[in-house]
Amino acid sequence: MEHIYHKKFNSGERLHKKGVGVYIYGKHALMEAIGNAPRAVKKVFLSPEANTSELRGTLEKNKIPFSAMKGGDAGKMVSRDASHQGVIAAVDPAEILVDFDDFVSNLKPDENTILVLLDELTDPQNVGAIIRSAAAFGASGILLPAKNQAPITGAVVKASAGMVFRVPIVELGNVNRAVDILKEKGFRVYGLDMNGEKKISDEKFGAPSLFIVGNEGRGIREKTFERCDVQLRIPMNPKCESLNASVSAAVVLFYWSLGHSGALKKNG
């Protein structure tokens, strides 16, 4: 069996190197990959017991190699509790990453443009859930630091419901440089912070918006936090300490979308 290993995240490494692959699993995730980023799919492994006749036709049409999954193979590729439905695919996440300079050069923002920047999040479930919410509410891109950031893995793809293949995933070499460039292009920068100076309900969101979601423990890094035009907070019952990163992002993105139905149409 061709071996494309599931890369583990180590602090300080780049988000993804060309040719370093991961495994995604489940029919839905694979169909999203084929439909939106077929070049990223390198090989598919199918369980003989699964009903995959239609899927095989799709793979043949897209000239994606596939082979039978032998006993014990699944446990070597994904966790034993992964609901893979008899479908596991080796993908190269580097194929879906977009260079920031290329991305921003083609960006024509208006008041319905929203970007989400993840500032060194480490939990794959949070990363995937935020990508899913961003896609649901019309984001034009997800910005990820190249280092110290949980990379795109099978768990992230699963948590995103395959949305990593639908929304541009933009790799940042320097987060603060990217924020400065976006501000020059007219973006208003919002940092999500439980002690933020302004409630989300008090902000009009009349310009292109960049939302920054900080690390699960320490929040947004200091130099990046200083670049925020507004620190936003979600009004909450004082008996509740805080919401986790993905839930906070979903709440803020939903509230933003209430006044920007054009984003759903533009990115639909």
Q: Residue 2: its pLDDT value, please?
A: 33
- What is residue 10's predicted lDDT score, i.e. its pLDDT? 37
Residue 222 is predicted with a pLDDT of: 95
| Residue-level pLDDT at 266 | 62
Phi, psi (degrees; rounded to nearest 5) at 258: -60, -30
Write the burial class of residue 217 (CB in 10 Å: 0-12 exposed, 13-18 middle, 19+ buried). Answer: exposed
Residue in the structure block whose two tokens are 């190269």? 92
> Which of 8, 256, 244 has the alpha carbon at shortest distance from 126?
244
Q: What is the CA radius of gyration of the chain?
A: 19
| Cα distance between residue 164 and residue 141, in whole Å | 10
Q: Which amino acid is at 150?
A: A
Residue with tokens 């043949």: 60
pLDDT for position 27: 87
Q: How far is Cα 61 from Cα 168, in angstroms, rounded to an integer? A: 25
Sheet holding 66-68, edge to edge: 22-25, 87-91, 41-46, 66-68
Predicted local confidence at residue 4, as pLDDT: 34
- For residue 75 the two structure tokens come to 């446990």
* Spatial CB neighbours of 142, under 8 Å, sequence gap ≥ 6: 115, 116, 117, 118, 130, 131, 134, 167, 168, 169, 170
Q: Tens place of pLDDT for every residue, the chain, 268 residues? A: 333 334 333 333 445 555 447 888 888 889 999 999 999 999 999 988 877 788 889 999 999 999 988 877 777 787 776 677 788 899 998 889 999 999 999 999 999 999 999 999 999 999 999 999 999 999 999 999 999 999 888 889 989 999 999 999 999 999 999 999 999 999 999 999 988 999 999 999 999 999 999 999 999 999 999 999 999 999 998 888 788 999 999 999 999 999 998 787 765 4
- For the beta sheet containing 198-199, the strands, ordered from the edge strand earlier in sequence to the opposite edge, are 97-99, 169-172, 141-145, 114-119, 209-214, 188-192, 230-233, 198-199
3-state helix, strand, coil in the chain (%, to 5): 35, 20, 45
Can you tell me the distance from the alpha carbon of 38 to that of 188, in angstroms, rounded to the nearest whole number?
A: 34
Rounded Cα distance between 238 and 4, Å, is 48
Compute the distance between CA of residue 112 and CA of residue 97 in angstroms, rounded to an integer.
23
Rounded to whole angstroms, the Cα distance separating 181 from 114 reads 15
| Cα dihedral 190→193→198→202 (10° resolution) | 70
β-strands 230-233, 198-199 pairing: parallel
At 128 the pLDDT is 96
Considering the entire predicted model, what is its pTM? 0.86
